[in-house]
Amino acid sequence: MSIVDADIAFVAPPKPTGRRVSRKAGDHSWRYIALGLIFPASVLLFWQIAAQQRWVSDVFLPLPSKTAWAFVTMVEKQDFSHDFLASIRIVGQAFFYGSVVGVLFGVAAGFSRTVERVFGPTLDGLRHIPGIAWLPLIVLWIGIGAPAKILVIAKSVFFPVFLNTLQGIRSIDRNYIELGNVLKLTRGQQIRKIVIPGAMPSILVGVRYGASLAWALVVVAEGLSGQEGLGFLIFRAQSLLLTDQLLVCMVVIGVVGFAIDRSVGILQRHLLRWKHGFQG
Amino acid sequence: MSRSETLSLRNIGKTYQIDGQDLCVLDEISLDIAGGSFIGIVGPSGCGKSTLLRLIVGLDSQYDGVISLGGETVVGTSLDRGIVFQDHRLLPWMTLEQNVGLALLNSTLGQSERKERVADLINLVGLRGFETVFPHQLSGGMAQRAAIARGLVTKPRVLLLDEPLGALDALTRVRLQDELLHIWEIERITMILVTHDVEEAVYLGDRVIVMHPAPGRIADDFSIDLPYPRDRASQEFTNIRQRVLIAMGAYDGSRRRAA
Ligand SMILES: Nc1ncnc2c1ncn2[C@@H]1O[C@H](COP(=O)(O)OP(=O)(O)OP(=O)(O)O)[C@@H](O)[C@H]1O
Ligand SMILES: [Mg+2]
């Protein structure tokens, strides 16, 4: 038997699709979507009725329609996009720096017990001072501008990413490292081909958590210092009793947070498509 | 290239520590394996077969005795000595193609030659059409075949096979046994095959080693002089198979019962 015709002897393989297992049937059917809309629609309806019937004062709860108009006004007259983008920029940069440094430190500590020993206790201590508690000090040092917020939020992203990366690396099956030795992979190849992909599920858990955290923190940070951003707007609206604008900010924050989480979820699903049955 | 390097094991002993207790797994194993021979190793579960292969491939240096290949003492792993692990050990995050190609990462071959070689090997083990599939989408037997492809792709001088055909159906098994023989005859590499299937060992090996457990040691060493390809139904074949089974103690129980 020759090397080339060997495969004929085997049962012809069915064309593999290479797709991950499809999600539960009916996942994207109208029924499924409608089911998810029932509750928010009811809340909206109740809100409309409550405001219309003057069960609560307009100052506390403006009409949904008025709130929608407030959104249009803010976009057209008050340069809402400027504040919106300011927040996005801060979160984007903070998230980027925080997760990159987190992965780098995680890999270094995962590989070397010495590195872990040198930095571990310090980091473990710092971890318990919440990011926001750092803000006043940082603002004292470098002012109320964007860098202070980026620094503080990056710090908050760093820890979940760092800890999950470290844990992911430590929990890699030793057999895979052994395989790398047998195949004579260099240290760099071991890291790229075995360690990072093996730790990826864990890393992404940290990244997803860090992303949500970053978005939540930017609102707080902007509310505490500075003159722009969604966080600034929401607290200003409160002090001026512009409840409709306040609600607009809340909704936008919620929608963006939702979008961020879903995007990371999609990324997660793509990167972990090799994982049996993984659905994000 | 010379394929005549002898793999030599001198007084190999291996002890594991379990809860502070010493467990002697291999005791005084001495063996000379001529370059280019095909050795079958049989023995009961837990007698140290996998452990022995780990020592030869260089994954464990904590042992007594000396292992040498072509006169050179074996230190650490080398692309000269390949292994197909008992568990297939494909990386779950790589496609079949990438898994096989991983072994060539540090080869001197050019990009296109590598691709060609990976495709050849995948073809050889009958997995054409599954190149871009992840291991969790393969059956157990397909994963084992993929692991064999990865073991062969580097053209090692010595290939260690730890029950590589264990999870295969009878037909595929016979087919792959013939493929292994075929590769062995072409490449003249030294093959050491651990198996629980005595017939497989006798069909493939020019020598069959029988190990006994607790501590793992060599109990018997058969030269199989039958010409290839062998006829499993022939009188000589069944005779040798019978002798190997007796050496393994397969009939001890029944004889005792009869007495
Ligand atoms: N890492 C380890 N630490 C401690 N004991 C071990 C270790 N690996 C193997 N052993 C012990 O060594 C003995 C031999 O194991 P080994 O895996 O070599 O057996 P085997 O002959 O390959 O068995 P099988 O045919 O079931 O694969 C067993 O008793 C096992 O418990
Ligand atoms: Mg074994």
Q: Which residue has the higher pLDDT, A21 or B160?
A: B160
Looking at all shown ligands, the one closest to residue B47's CA atom is 1
For residue A179, what is the nearest residue in chain B, using CA coordinates?
B89
> Are the beta carbons of A179 and B57 separated by less than 8 Å?
no
CA dihedral B152→B154→B155→B156, nearest 10 degrees, is: -90
pTM of the model: 0.80
Atom of ligand 1 nearest to the CA of B17: 4
What is the predicted pLDDT for the residue at A279?
A: 60
Give me ligand 1 centre to Cα B163, in Å: 14
The pLDDT score that the predictor gives to residue A2 is 38
Q: How far apart are CA B217 and CA A111, in angstroms?
A: 38
Query: Which tens digit of pLDDT belongs to each residue from A198-256?
Result: 999 999 999 999 999 999 998 888 888 878 888 898 998 888 888 888 888 898 999 99
- Nearest-atom number in ligand 1 for the CA of B214 is 29
* Predicted pLDDT of residue B4: 58
With beta carbons less than 8 A apart as the criterion, state whether B232 and B200 touch: no
For residue B195 and ligand 1, the question of a CB distance below 6 A is answered with no
- Using the beta-carbon criterion (under 8 Å), do B106 and A184 form an inter-chain contact? yes
Between chain A and chain B, how many beta carbons pairs sit less than 8 Å apart? 96
**Which is the closest atom of ligand 1 to the Cα of B44?**
25
Chain A residues near residue B76 by CB distance under 8 angstroms: 181
On chain A, the residues whose CB falls within 8 A of the CB of B178 are: 1
Rounded to the nearest angstrom, the minimum Cα separation between B138 and chain A is 10
Spell out which residues of chain A touch residue B158, defining contact as CB-CB under 8 Å: none
The ipTM (two decimal places) reads 0.86
Going residue by residue through chain B (259 aa), what tens digit of pLDDT does each one get? 444 588 989 898 898 888 888 888 888 889 999 888 999 999 988 899 999 999 999 998 888 988 988 888 888 888 889 999 988 899 999 999 999 999 898 888 888 888 999 998 898 888 888 989 999 988 888 888 899 999 989 888 899 999 988 878 888 888 888 888 988 888 788 999 999 999 999 999 999 999 988 888 888 898 988 888 888 889 888 998 989 898 888 777 655 444 4
The mean per-residue pLDDT over the stretch A93-120 comes to 88
pLDDT value at position A28?
Answer: 67
- Cβ–Cβ < 8 Å for A161, B57: no
Q: Confidence class of residue A31 from pLDDT cuts 50, 70 and 90?
A: confident
**pLDDT on residue A168:** 92
A38 C-alpha vs ligand 2 centroid, how far in Å?
58
The preferred substitution site among B19, B29, B42, B49 for testing ligand 1, maximizing ligand atoms within 8 Å of CB, is: B49
Domains and CATH numbers, chain A: 78-271 (1.10.3720.10)
pLDDT category of residue A131 using cuts at 50, 70 and 90:
confident
- Asked if the C-beta of A76 comes within 8 angstroms of chain B's C-beta atoms, the answer is no
Is B129 a pocket residue for ligand 1 (Cβ < 6 Å)? no
- Nearest of A126, A127, A128, A144 to residue A221 by alpha carbon: A144
- Quick one: tokens of A247? 């609600």
Residue A15 has pLDDT above 50, yes or no: no
Which domains can be identified in chain B, with CATH numbers? 1-80+157-252 (3.40.50.300), 87-155 (no CATH)
**Confidence (pLDDT) at A278:** 64
Report CA torsion sign: B252, B256, B257, B259. Answer: positive
Identify which has the larger pLDDT, A4 or B169: B169
Total length of chain A: 280
Which comes out higher in pLDDT, residue A11 or B190?
Answer: B190
Q: Give contacts of A197 with chain B, Cβ < 8 Å.
A: 91, 93-94
Q: Is there a contact between B85 and A179 if contact means CB atoms under 8 Å apart? A: yes
Q: Mean pLDDT of all residues in chain A? A: 83
pLDDT in tens, A138-194: 888 888 888 888 998 999 999 999 999 999 998 899 999 999 999 999 988 998 999
- Taking contacts as CB-CB distances below 8 angstroms, the residues of chain A near B133 are 16, 18
Strand partners, B91: none
Indicate if ligand 1 lies below 6 Å from the C-beta of B60.
no
Q: Whats the size of chain B, residue-wise?
A: 259
Q: Is the CB of B48 under 6 A from ligand 1?
A: yes
Q: Given a cut of 90, is residue A26 above it in pLDDT?
A: no
User: Which of B59, B133, B136 has the CB atom closest to A182's CB atom?
Assistant: B59
User: What pLDDT does A175 receive?
Assistant: 92
Which of B59, B89, B133 has its CB closest to that of A16?
A: B133
Angle at B139 between CA B134 and CA B142, to 5 degrees: 85
- DSSP label at residue B74: P
- Mind giving me the DSSP string for A43-86? HHHHHHHHHHTTSS-TTTS--HHHHHHHHHHHHHHS-HHHHHHH
Q: What is the dihedral of CA A253, A256, A261, A266, to 10 degrees?
A: 170
**Which of B16, B61, B195 is the pocket-test mutation for ligand 1 (most atoms within 8 Å of CB)?**
B16
Choose the residue to mutate in B15, B19, B21, B23 for probing ligand 1, maximizing ligand atoms within 8 Å of C-beta.
B23
Kindly determine whether residue B93 and residue A7, on different chains, have CB atoms separated by under 8 Å.
Answer: no
| Residue A19: band (very low, low, confident or very high) from pLDDT cuts 50, 70, 90 | very low
What are the DSSP E strand ranges found in B152-255? 158-162, 190-194, 207-212, 217-223
At residue B195, the pLDDT reads 92
What confidence score (pLDDT) does residue A280 get?
54
- A176 interaction partners in chain B (CB closer than 8 Å): 89, 91
